[in-house]
């Protein structure tokens, strides 16, 4: 089995975090993945001093892969592989963008624009992992927009927040129609968002997960019973 096949196999297991760290003991595998994705080393060292996170960047990534595997359990193997790699790559740009700021006397880490850095890494890595151009374009779109719902809330209190509503979801679908089927693309982003939140601090993710799950219901209605936007 090649190192690439080993990585794919691990990313589709139930215990991704444990299995990944276990195989990294192997010098051959660790040397290979460091060569392919050198950012892995920085992610392992990168702590996330923020209320939203309970893992370092690498462990957050690995747990998020476990969560997307649960969401795609009944899907075709190639689709499951696609989503597993999307989660594996979605936050790799965090170490490069990490800044620590003062918030009411507390030092908090921020990772502004990490999506763009992660997308750059994905564009470099995915061709070497055998993904075709269409898959790479879609995966990069998902990575770039994986935090899309972070500022969508039911009761906005800040200028940068948006009111959750069917109208907003319809607008987002129309925005993504330029890349393909907007409903399907937004649903993929929602799945990524759910997995991402499930790998964060469970004390803070109830409201974001509620919005993401309600969006899934809306998209299902729009796709199967009410396609008029």
Query: Over the stretch 28-47, which tens digit does the pLDDT of each residue have?
Result: 999 999 999 999 999 999 99
H/E element holding 28? helix 27-36
Axis-axis angle for helices 182-198, 133-144 (nearest 10): 60
Domain boundaries, the chain: 1-135, 145-224
Q: Given this model, what pLDDT does residue 36 score?
A: 97
Residue spans of beta strands (DSSP E) within the chain: 99-103, 106-110, 152-153, 162-163
User: Do 43 and 91 meet the contact criterion of CB atoms below 8 Å apart?
Assistant: yes
Give residue-wise pLDDT tens across range 138-164.
999 999 999 999 999 999 999 999 999
Mean pLDDT, rounded, for 184-208: 97
Percent of the chain at pLDDT exceeding 90? 93
């Amino acid at each position: 089995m090649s190192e690439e096949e080993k990585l794919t196999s691990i990313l589709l297991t139930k215990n991704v975090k444990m299995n990944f760290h276990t195989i990294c003991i192997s010098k051959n595998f660790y040397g290979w993945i460091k060569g392919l994705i050198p950012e892995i080393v920085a992610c392992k060292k990168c702590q996330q001093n923020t209320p939203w996170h309970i893992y370092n960047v690498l462990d957050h990534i690995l747990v998020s892969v476990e969560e997307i595997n649960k969401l795609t359990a009944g899907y075709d193997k190639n689709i499951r592989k696609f989503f597993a790699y999307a989660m594996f790559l979605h936050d790799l740009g965090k170490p490069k963008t990490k800044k620590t700021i003062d918030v009411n006397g507390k030092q908090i880490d921020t990772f502004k624009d990490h999506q763009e850095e992660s997308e750059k890494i994905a564009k470099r890595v995915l061709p070497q992992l055998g993904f075709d151009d269409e898959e790479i374009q879609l995966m990069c779109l998902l990575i770039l927009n994986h935090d899309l719902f972070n500022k969508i809330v039911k009761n906005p209190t800040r200028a940068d927040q948006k009111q959750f509503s069917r109208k907003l979801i319809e607008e987002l679908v129309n925005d993504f129609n330029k890349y393909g089927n907007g409903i399907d693309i937004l649903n993929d982003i929602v799945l990524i968002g759910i997995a991402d939140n499930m790998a964060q601090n469970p004390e803070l993710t109830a409201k974001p997960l509620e919005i993401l799950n309600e969006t899934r219901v809306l998209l299902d209605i729009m796709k199967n019973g009410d396609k008029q936007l």
